[in-house]
A = this chain, B = another copy of it.
């Protein structure tokens, strides 16, 4: 049915990927520190997952950024 990934989630994924690269972590490393599964994080970076705030927060902690930085450019 609905195959279109929403651009907001794609943008969020790009943000995560960029910030992760900046900190020099692999998906697996970041996932570990965030307490998430490696494949889950990967899906998020690809814009395939509609994350909840609590998941977002898990991710931004090891990245040392605030929610608003993680969400920069999302939904405008």
Tallying the copies of this chain within the complex gives 2
Name A23-52 residues within 8 Å CB distance of B: 50-52
| Chain A interface size range | 20 to 34
State how many angstroms separate the Cβ of A26 from the closest Cβ of chain B.
Answer: 24
Q: Can you list 30 residue pairs at the A/B interface with Cβ under 8 Å?
A: A6-B54, A8-B53, A8-B54, A8-B57, A9-B53, A9-B54, A12-B53, A50-B52, A50-B53, A51-B52, A51-B53, A52-B52, A52-B53, A53-B53, A53-B56, A53-B71, A53-B74, A53-B75, A57-B74, A57-B75, A60-B75, A66-B75, A66-B76, A67-B68, A67-B71, A67-B74, A67-B75, A68-B68, A68-B71, A68-B72
